[in-house]
Every structure is written in structure tokens, then in C-alpha cells.
Structure 1
Amino acid sequence: MATVTLNAQDFEKTITDNELVFVDFWATWCGPCRAFGPTFEAASEANPDIVFGKVDIDANQELASAAGIQAVPTLMIAKKGQIIFKQAGALRAEDLDDLIDQAKKLDVDAAEGAQKA
């Protein structure tokens, strides 16, 4: 599945309605963002069971601010509506693949239960 463009209107619904969502916060003027773009796109094609979204921070400044984005590119991962990862900086393909594997294996419900105990 190709990446989808997200904005303030559909961001929350995308996060809550899908099991696993990877979001790339980026900007057209950002060199590292342009370098990471093809890696993110390739991962989206290789993992059709995951939603891969992109948020242009210039077109969605309020959303980027609400998400606490301070640098681009920033990768955010949500699982079952919970933000489980957020990190600034472009990733290499193998590092992104490793994060995808970790996110798929993470049991959010068990982790949440452990925090409440």
C-alpha cells in the first residue's frame, strides 16, 4: 500500500481506526526528509498491513505543533491508537525495517497493563 497524505481532519481517525500507523512528519525544503521519503515509500509497499502516512508540516502547522514536532523528519508510530514511538531524524532502510518488526511484535495491551500495576 502506498503512503497516504494526512492532515488535521483525518489524522486522529487514521491513528484510532488502524492497528498500526507509521507517520512521517516532513517538509519540502528539508534535505533529509527528501532522502528519507523513498525509504518510507518502499517500506509502505513492503508492508501493506500497516498504514504509512505523511504530514507536510508547512501545510499542517497546527497538527505538527499539537504532535510536538520540533525537527523534521520525525517518525511517529501509533499502535491501537497509542503513540508508541517518536523520533526525529532520517532512518536507514534496515533501521526502519527493525522498527517495523518491533512495532508489530509490541503488545500494547500488556505494556499498558504493566504500567497500571
Structure 2
Amino acid sequence: MATTDLTAQTFEKTVLDNDIVLVDFWAAWCGPCRQFAPVYEAASKEADNEGIVFAKVDTEAEQSLAGAANITSIPTLMAFKEGVLVFSQPGALPQSALQNLIEQVKALDMAPIKEQIAQEAASAGGEA
């Protein structure tokens, strides 16, 4: 599966409507971004990664989205599972590290994470 370009209009829907979404924040002028692009593209085409959305955000074209995501360094890779941000790190990953990250995200049990989010939301609601 090829990578998908995300915009401010498509970002939230893509993250919420898919089980696992990886997002590469990049820019054309960024050397490390250009080095990471073929690694990311290759991972998107691997059969083991079927069902995972590999998305890209051009930080030059989507400055408001990059700002909302607190992107301060590129490339930055984010991983979402079941609509929850589970990984965010700047820097170009080598192929082995990217594949390791993908396996960890696939194996992640979201039940305790969602329970913690619910507990934090409930306690924040009580602190008015």
C-alpha cells in the first residue's frame, strides 16, 4: 500500500477511522526527510504491514497542522492506534527500527491505555 498525503481536513478522520496510522511529518528541503522517505515507502509496501495506513504530512503545505501537532523538528514520525497517539519521535529511523516500531504498535494492548485515558478525563472533569 502506498503512502497517503494528509491535510488538516483529512488528518483527524484518517486517524480515527483506521486501526493503526503512521504519520511522517516532512518537508522537501529536509535532507533527513529525503533519506527517510524510501525507508518509509518500502515499509508501506510490505505485506506484513497490510491494514496499516502510512501517511505523510508536508509541513510546508500544512503549517497549521504541523503546529497543532507540535512539530518542532522534522522528520517526525507519529503512530496512532485506535485513535490514540502511542508514539512520537523526531529523526529518521533506519529500516530495522521502523519495522520494530510497527511490530510494537501492532502488539500494543490498548485496553489499559484507554482505561488510563478515561480515568484521567474523569479526574480532570472533577477539578473544575
TM bracket, shorter-chain basis: over 0.9
Measure the CA separation in 2 of the matches of 1:4 and 1:48: 14
Report what 2:101 is aligned to: 99
1:58-85 C-alpha deviation (Å, 9 max, x unpaired)? 0000000000100000000000000010
Is the partner of 2:24 in helix, strand or coil?
Answer: strand
For 2:42, give the aligned amino acid: A
Regions of 4+ moved over 6 Å: none
2:71 to 61, 69, 72: 69
Match of 2:58 in 1: 56
- Give 1:103 deviation, angstroms: 0.1
- How many correspondences in the alignment? 117
**Partner secondary structure for residue 99 of structure 1:** helix
What is the rounded CA distance, in whole Å, between the counterparts of 2:57 and 2:43 in structure 1?
A: 16
Superposition map of 1:8-87 within 5 A: 8-46=8-46, 47-87=49-89
**Percent of counterpart pairs with the same letter?**
53
When normalised by structure 2's length, the TM-score is 0.88
Distance in 2 between residues matched to 1:63 and 1:33, nearest whole Å? 18
The verdict on how the C-alpha distance between 1:49 and 1:65 changes in structure 2, with shifts beyond 3 A counting, is same
CA RMSD after TM alignment: 1.2
**3-state SS of paired residue (1:65):** helix
1:114 CA displacement: 4.9
Deviation at 1:102, TM superposition (A): 0.2
- Indicate the SS of the match to 1:29: coil
Structure 1: stretches of 5+ with no match in the other structure: none
Structure 1 position 111, deviation (Å)? 2.4
